[in-house]
A and B are shown apart, each in its own frame.
Chain A
Amino acid sequence: MLENLTKKLDSIFKKIRGKGLLTDKNIDEALREVRLALLEADVHFKVAKSFIEGVREKAVGKEILEGLAPGQQVVKIVWKELSRLMGEEGKTIALSSQPPTLIMLVGLQGSGKTTTVGKLARRFKREGKRVLLVAGDLQRPAAVSQLQTLGKGLDVPVMDPGTNKDPVIVMEKGVKQGRKEGFDVVIFDTAGRLQVDEALMAELVQMKSGISPDEILFVADAMTGQTAVDVARKFHEDLGLTGIILTKTEGDARGGALLSIRSVTGAPIKFIGTGEKLEDLEPFHPDRMASRILGMGDVLSLVELAEESYSKEQAEILEKKIRKEEFTLEDFAQQVKQMKKIGGMEKMLDMIPGARNLKVLPDQSRIEKEMKHVEAIISSMTDKERRIPSIINGNRRKRISRGSGTSVQEINRLLKQFYQAKKMLKRMSTGKMKGLGQMMSPFG
């Protein structure tokens, strides 16, 4: 998400990075640009203002730390302030010592509440918890059936509201059923509010006192504009939010709403929705998000993702192979598959520092396509060819090209890439990883 803001801030700091001294004037200039960038990112104007004031106070008149260029120091201050504004390290949902844990989701219409209910249910179910879903949205046509379809797909029970039209009574029944049948978690969906309307807020307050939930989570759309502040404030005042879930972050929304909501409610951001599929829900890490905004990338998230989809044993075997020069086309294909698992180029580019600033960004869909071709080519080879690529002569190339539906030129290119990769891997395993280490350190 936030890559547009990242780009902007990057270009600003490039301007002052080379300068030797932090003067009032160049700080003012940079901060004005930071403010505009924040406003363009939909950060509420008051939040942006107080943010800028905070940075200015800390930047002006401060002694320059040894080892840091003045520009770097401003970057560091902005980064720190940004992290601070977004809250402490990722907090998730704490389960109550007396189950069931009652979780109520609230938010405006179309923010993605019902989908998020499904995502949370999936998460708890995978942790081995018994989950019950309760529809508190009896207004929107088909909201109940949407929840039922989600529940069916996840194999999670959904309480049937029957013909009852009073959501408060339905939710109270949900609590009873949750207790009686020994559920660990009960998640309540609520009707989307189009506006912060007194009557509808009163209904939510009634629901709250009816079920006394452990968590009241505010579901907010990452694309929300300046009104995010007013909406979040009202919900917080009336209900006392315990957390925030930001949805639809996989698009190109700059997500300034996140900073605004967080700063007016003080409630922690517990999860972010990163896609339409039910597994697309991630814990929120404020420091990483701040790094991402500043163009320092989200290396930690990338490492974690890579670890998740790549076991330690696999890595060790690969390392051994590289050292012994036994890296084959099969391993190469494996690498391509891993890359796909991590989420393809687009997701990776978001996380690699500076990658978004490359002048010529390779066309991502083209890369994905090429990756598919690589897989097809290697699948069309015999075992022997994969182990000993040097035997692949002209005839074999023709056969492989027919089998994989690619051209001989593509096969030639793949083999060339493979030999290059092999050479590079060998150099990396024997030489120092100094370059890589420097890349990972944010202020190095």
Chain B
Amino acid sequence: MGKGFLKKLGLGLKETRNYFSDGVAALFFGRATIDADMLDHLEELLIGADLGVEVTERFLRDLKPCVERKEVSDLVSLKKKLKKFMVSILEKERSEMPFSVSPKVTLFVGVNGVGKTTTIGKRAQKLKEEGGRIVLAAGDTFRAGAGEQLALWGERVGVEVIRHRPGADPAAVAFDAVSAGLARKSDHVLIDTAGRLQTKNNLMAELKKMVRVLEKAMPGAPHEKILVLDATTGQNALSQAKLFNEAIGITGIILTKLDGTGRGGIVIPIVETLSVPVTDIGVGEGADDLIPFHVESFVDALFEDTPQG
């Protein structure tokens, strides 16, 4: 783990860290021991981070006997307990893709406005810097301006973008992009999709069709199906994760806008219920602000005392 990476993580998570670190520290102001009133405040702190009622209640249930046995009695031990709890949930085996596939086809899905197109742009830039050959697919043929947005990223990064007319069948766009990727011996095909609410059966069916068509274009594709989640989303993110997973089987989650106001606590119940790992997090507007998610550094960054920077 490089120093630059940790710095970026620390800066990007400033808001979230301030919330957790200051919040936990504030619990001990004017208090020597952990009492019922303080546990109430702790509950609010966790709920306020969008951890959800269930996970919060479970942590408090776990905590109570530790407090009685005096294992947890001060700021240091409480932080340690909280970190351990979060790490235990977030740590999921990540099944690595065999790197022999070429091109590796990745499908990006999610509800409206979570930052799918921007995420694809950032990832394209990174892969390009690593020397990869990339094709982008403008699979959002619905939203006005979505194709242009991806095309602009394509220009900026210097990679080819496969586009059809607005309103065209997104599965056809995806098919063409994979065909182009195969013909040009590309390393990666990144496919954008229109934002869709997870409860819209017809749109979810469209997504299933895209996956079927991709399999026809290249057996085994799409190799990765990434759900993009907005860190400011509340408990509805759970429903998003569940329904997208039921429809196409998610292989990873990218959490965006973590540098914003969102605290991203919602990933904890999601990872717990779905056992799908978080692969990357978006911590800034720049192309290099999409960084790999590393559980220990992430949780450490949340509870750091002295901000790096």
A234-285 CB contacts (< 8 Å) to partner B: 248, 250-254, 256-257, 276
Whether B113 contacts A142 by the Cβ 8 Å rule is no
Q: Which of B44, B166, B234 gathers the greatest number of chain A CB atoms within 10 Å?
A: B234
Give Cα A374–Cα B26 distance, bound, in whole angstroms.
Answer: 64
Within 8 A of B (CB), among A356-372: 364-365
Tell me the nearest residue of chain B to A222, going by C-beta: B236
Which of A61-69, A104-112, A209-217, A429-437 is near enough to bind chain B? Answer: A104-112
Q: Which residues of A sit under 8 angstroms from B114, Cβ to Cβ?
A: 110
By the criterion CB–CB under 8 Å, are B152 and A142 in contact? yes
Q: How many A-B residue pairs have CB under 8 A?
A: 139
Contact assessment for B232 and A141 in the assembled complex, using a CB-CB cutoff below 8 Å: no
The 10 closest A-B pairs by CB, nearest first: A225-B234, A146-B145, A110-B113, A42-B234, A149-B144, A142-B149, A251-B197, A142-B148, A195-B260, A141-B152
A140 to B145, CA, bound (A): 11
* Option from A45, A250, A256 in Cβ contact (under 8 Å) with B197: A250
A111-B261 Cα distance, complex, nearest whole Å: 13
Return the chain B residue nearest A193 by Cβ: B260
Q: Which residues from B are CB-within-8-Å of A108? A: 232, 260-261
Count the A residues whose beta carbon is within 8 Å of the partner chain — how many?
49
Chain B contact residues, majority secondary structure: loop
**9-residue interface stretch from A33-41, A288-296, A384-392:** A33-41
B262 and A223 within 8 A (CB):
no
- Chain A residue, CB-CB nearest to B238: A40
How many angstroms from the CA of A88 to the CA of B197 in the assembled complex? 29
What number of B residues sit within 8 Å (CB to CB) of A?
Answer: 46
Show the binding face of B for A, using Cβ within 8 Å. 15, 44, 47-50, 52-53, 111-115, 142-146, 148-149, 151-153, 166, 197-201, 230, 232-237, 239, 257, 259-263, 265-266, 285
Contacts of B152 in A (CB 8 A): 141-142
Shortest CB-to-CB span from B245 to chain A, Å, is: 15
User: Which residues A121-164 have CB closer than 8 A to chain B?
Assistant: 140-143, 145-147, 149-150, 153
For B115, what are the chain A residues with a Cβ–Cβ distance below 8 Å?
109-110
Expressed in whole angstroms, the Cα–Cα distance for A224 and B231 within the complex equals 9
Task: Report B129 CB to chain A, min CB distance, Å.
Answer: 19
A225 touches B266 (CB 8 A): yes
Asked if B236 and A153 sit within 8 Å, CB to CB, the answer is no
Q: Are A40 and B52 in contact (CB under 8 A)?
A: yes
